[in-house]
Amino acid sequence: MTEYQAMGRALELALRGTGKVSPNPRVGCVILRDGEIIAEGWHDHFGGMHAEVHALTSARSSLDGATLVVTLEPCAHHGKQPPCTDAIIATKRRPDGTLDPERGIRRVVIGMRDPNPAAGGGLEKLQQAGIEVTVGVREQECWWLNRFFVKHVTTGKPYVIGKAAISLDGCIATRDGASVWISGEESRRRSHALRAEVDAVLVGRGTVQRDDPHLGPRLVRGKMPRRIVLDTHLRLAPTHRVFSDSHRMRTVVCTSPQAAVTSTAELLKRRGVMVLPVPLDEKGRLSLAAVFDVLGEELLVSSVLVEGGQEVLSGCVADGLLDELHLFVAPMLLGAGIGAFGRLAVESLSAAPRWHYHAISRAGDDLHIVLFPQRSSA
Ligand SMILES: NC(=O)c1ccc[n+]([C@@H]2O[C@H](COP(=O)([O-])OP(=O)(O)OC[C@H]3O[C@@H](n4cnc5c(N)ncnc54)[C@H](OP(=O)(O)O)[C@@H]3O)[C@@H](O)[C@H]2O)c1
């Protein structure tokens, strides 16, 4: 097996931490000797053993001369776990503590450097111990795996993904608000896979009122994300599913500081729903930027899937808050329906928000389009 293939296996192993390690990164690791995998490891849950240590402790044969292949630079700091670099270097120590170049891990292959300012320096520490280090193997795939972690650890804000099921002519619902179901089964399964991957799913009051959604990943195996609802004046009835089902402890309602101290807020809190006061913007709405800041800083939410509806999606695009957009395009026309981004006021073509196509695939009868925003360099 080549080191490139071994990194592919490490990427697969890293996925085992999906939904369990956040806000920490998903990391996978394999140890190669003479082209054979002799150990595998992954970061399994928040605060748990790191992938490198997991692999080192499960090696089936001698580590002498072996290559450790890992998706993220081994950490050099004491966090919830001791530094992985120390564990790797320890494989080279003689009983008297001195380093023996012939013993233990000879080479480390790293997918991407750790952007966490507190954890950095692992690469240099390994080199100082005489270990040969290569960095950047399948780097783009490693970044994709940890794009939530990278944004959160470098900015304190969550990575925000917008998602909508739309008709060919860009509607998320008919004129009277019906949207169940625009997209087909495979699109819904992929949407649920996204729900299982993120820390939180966010919707506006209009969507809860109209659709009474569950917001969980029912079509795939995975944990229930936090369910974030924007309701400036706490006007939604407490009977809605997000406030009354068995997952209501996973619901966070963002509301104005005034509404957060009312008897309605108290009732929701008694049920286990979290009521989060958020400052208002100049239009008297919850400031969307503040919502994401509070989620990232106070609740350590590293990723949010914004599922709608029209007002919330339009607001996120207008404020430049989306890092990624998933559109599930169903082969139907809705004419004068509710446009996904119909509240965007675009004054001129040059002012239109623009996107890069990242991936396009078939999802049953639908198209699944993944886009990244074109950020202006100004
Ligand atoms: N096809 C799809 O993928 C999809 C997905 C979701 C929803 N939908 C459809 O979308 C429709 C609902 O869309 P909608 O536009 O009426 O409602 P929405 O976007 O879900 O919710 C809008 C409401 O959220 C509250 N809000 C608080 N702060 C906000 C802010 N900064 N920006 C925007 N909203 C804020 C406002 O109510 P307050 O002022 O009272 O707080 C606002 O009226 C339904 O027909 C639903 O079926 C379709």
Find the residues whose C-beta lies inside 6 A of ligand 1. Answer: 164-165, 172-173, 177, 179, 182, 203-207, 210-211, 230-233, 235, 285-286, 288, 307-312, 315, 338
Q: How many residues does the chain have?
A: 378
pTM given for the model: 0.95
C-alpha span between 88 and 68 (Å, rounded): 9
Choose the residue to mutate in 210, 215, 230 for probing ligand 1, maximizing ligand atoms within 8 Å of C-beta.
230
Weakest-pLDDT range from 80-84, 186-190, 216-220: 80-84
The answer to whether residue 38 scores a pLDDT higher than 90 is: yes
For the stretch 300-344, pLDDT in tens is: 999 999 999 999 999 999 999 999 999 999 999 999 999 999 999
83 contacts 76 by C-beta, under 8 angstroms: yes
Q: Show the DSSP H helices in the chain as ranges.
A: 3-14, 51-57, 84-90, 122-128, 139-145, 147-155, 185-197, 205-211, 241-244, 263-270, 288-298, 310-318
Q: Could you tell me the pLDDT band of residue 377, with boundaries at 50, 70 and 90? A: low
Question: pLDDT value at position 6?
Answer: 98
How far does Cα 376 stand from its chain's mean position?
24
Distance 287 CA to ligand 1 centre (A): 14
The answer to whether residue 77 scores a pLDDT higher than 90 is: no
Question: pLDDT value at position 321?
Answer: 98
For the stretch 235-261, pLDDT in tens is: 999 999 999 999 999 999 999 999 999
Q: Could you tell me the pLDDT band of residue 376, with boundaries at 50, 70 and 90? A: low
Specify the fold of 156-373.
Answer: Dihydrofolate Reductase, subunit A (3.40.430)
Q: Could you tell me the pLDDT band of residue 78, with boundaries at 50, 70 and 90? A: confident
Question: pLDDT value at position 220?
Answer: 95
Looking at ligand 1, which atom is closest to the CA of residue 281?
Answer: 31
Residue type, 24: N
Give the residue numbers annotated as catalytic, written as ranges: 52
Closest CA to 352 of 378, 317, 327, 322: 317
Domains 3-146 and 156-373 share a fold: no
Distance 108 CA to ligand 1 centre (A): 49
As given in the structure block, the two tokens for residue 216 are 């969980």
Closest CA to 11 of 42, 39, 34, 50: 42
Looking at ligand 1, which atom is closest to the CA of residue 286?
Answer: 28
Looking at ligand 1, which atom is closest to the CA of residue 203?
Answer: 20
Give the rounded percent of residues in the chain with a pLDDT score beyond 90. Answer: 95
**What residue's CA is closest to ligand 1, atom 33?**
312
The answer to whether residue 94 scores a pLDDT higher than 70 is: yes
Q: Could you tell me the pLDDT band of residue 81, with boundaries at 50, 70 and 90? A: confident
Per-residue exposure over 319-358, b if at least 16 CB sit within 10 Å of its own CB, e if not? eebbbbbbbbbbeeebeebbbbbebbeeeeeeeeeebeee
- 3-146: CATH homologous superfamily? Cytidine Deaminase, domain 2 (3.40.140.10)
Question: pLDDT value at position 91?
Answer: 96
Question: pLDDT value at position 378?
Answer: 44
The mean of the pLDDT values for the chain is: 96
Looking at ligand 1, which atom is closest to the CA of residue 288?
Answer: 31
C-alpha span between 190 and 193 (Å, rounded): 5
C-alpha span between 172 and 285 (Å, rounded): 22
**What residue's CA is closest to ligand 1, atom 36?**
205
Question: pLDDT value at position 218?
Answer: 93
Q: Where are the domains of the chain?
A: 3-146, 156-373
Distance 42 CA to ligand 1 centre (A): 39
